[in-house]
Amino acid sequence: MAFEGLTDKLSAALKRLRSKGKLTEADVKESMREVRMALLEADVNFKVAKDFTAAVTEKAVGAQVLESLTPAQHIVKIVNDELTALMGGINARLASPNRPPCVIMLCGLQGSGKTTHAAKLAKMLKKQGHRPILVACDIYRPAAIDQLKVVGGKAEVPVFEMGTQSPVKTSKEAVAHAKDHGNDVVIIDTAGRLHIDEALMKELQDVKAAVMPHEILLVVDAMTGQDAVNVAQTFNDTLGIDGVILTKLDGDTRGGAALSVRQVTGKPIKFIGTGEKLDDLEPFHPDRMASRILGMGDVLSFIERAEQQLDEKKAVELEQKMRGSTFNYNDLLDQFEQVRKMGPLKQVLSMIPGMEKQIKDQDVDERQIDRTMAIIKSMTPAEREKPGLLNASRRRRIASGSGLRVEDVNKLVKQLEMIQKMFKQMGGKGKKGRKGRMPFDMNQMMGGRF
């Protein structure tokens, strides 16, 4: 996940401050030197890193902080606040014109994920009640139009295309089509290049002049590090962008682009891509990202993801089963399938405060859920419904069918018994079937790893 290296180094620098009862100005400056080095190693722009540590130092060496009972905590708060401000301070929303459609023009270099993120954005807006349409204006890259049709189909969003005719003409016709057919959002997927050139910029400027988009969003690959900031600055100087979609933040990126792009270009990051699926697009919240960078988790994003992915009706049904002490393997399988929808387990757990370090110190075995699900799927419908049927011979058959050991099956049986016992003792108290709540102990299901 992005920022892992930066999180480690910042945590180490701030931990040394916490270990001291009283801080001096020299302690703060030494710590800020370490912070600056951590930012530079994360590929943060040099001037941005320098200005950031200078701002933190100025606020941290005041008498009110150094003479307080908990000076280290004060400094952590200052670092958190400055990180939030560095990335824009508040969540930047899309424009909302008085007269639809809202025209959104996506631009960027080839390989940044522009076409895929056009569909991701369309799917997100559709979930919010909008009626988006995708427009294919990349007539140069082989199969670009076909790719947009495929991802548009997966997102269940219509795609407007006119073959290889002029992108300027296609974009104008698409906006007229949207007005006639009640589409309130038009997302234009423009052509990219392997590098910035005059022909690319001229075409983008012509499309902009033709449709006067309400939003020009630059799609940037976070894996390119400092180059992402340079690309953003060039596009902004030439085209005048309104915001950035930062992609591949789920990869092994150092994170410098996210910390630099707002300060260098003056334009906010509006969305971040966190995975390969069409649901893996999130609004960018600077305050939440700052908390994650400092290893303090991101509870709000965790809750929002759970609320989007978990089925409220099933949660109510589960509550009734828990109250009646009839929780079985079908219910357990259903819960694992819902957890799977939330994304990679390591990514989900990293949003929970205090889990960042634990999942770093120990490998999160994503396959553990797959193995558990394999065991359950190797049971007959009757065995899933009535766990008491699992005698020794049935367990051997299930182990053979799932490709695992009898010991693994026995362990799952004990875990289910433990859950049933817990529900029985609680008598359903405190379980309101709230959407997004995990009804079982994930720590137990992962073998007590955390």
277, amino acid identity: K
* Residue whose tokens read 């396959």: 367
Please name every residue paired with 220 in a beta bridge, in sequence order, or none if there are none. 246
Residue of higher predicted confidence among 224 and 158: 158
Q: Is the pLDDT of residue 264 over 90?
A: no
What value does the mean pLDDT take over residues 168-176? Answer: 95
State pLDDT tens for residues 219-235: 988 877 777 788 888 89
Domain 304-445, what architecture?
Answer: Orthogonal Bundle (1.10)
Instruction: Say what the pLDDT of residue 389 is.
Output: 93
Beta bridge partners of 215: 104
Range scoring the smallest mean pLDDT among 24-38, 45-59, 186-200, 411-425:
411-425
pLDDT band for 129, please (50, 70, 90 cuts).
Answer: very high
pLDDT at 73 over 50: yes
Mean pLDDT (whole number) for 256-263 = 79
pTM: 0.66
Q: Is the dihedral of CA 64, 30, 261, 308 positive or negative?
A: negative
Q: What is the C-alpha to C-alpha distance for residues 333 and 383, in angstroms, rounded to an integer?
A: 13
Structural contact between residues 111 and 221, judged by C-beta atoms closer than 8 angstroms:
yes
Q: Where in the chain is the domain with CATH 1.10.260.30?
A: 304-445
Q: Is the pLDDT of residue 450 over 70?
A: no
Cα 266 from Cα 233, distance rounded (Å): 9
CATH 1.20.120.140 domain extents, the chain: 4-86
Most confident of 316-320, 339-343, 416-420: 416-420
- For the chain, give every residue range classified as CATH 3.40.50.300: 102-296
Cα(124)–Cα(279) distance, integer angstroms: 7
Query: What CATH number labels 4-86?
Result: 1.20.120.140
The pLDDT value given to residue 437:
43
436: left (phi over 0), alpha (psi -120 to 50) or beta: left
Domain range 102-296, its CATH number among 3.30.70.20, 3.40.50.300, 3.40.190.290, 3.40.50.720: 3.40.50.300
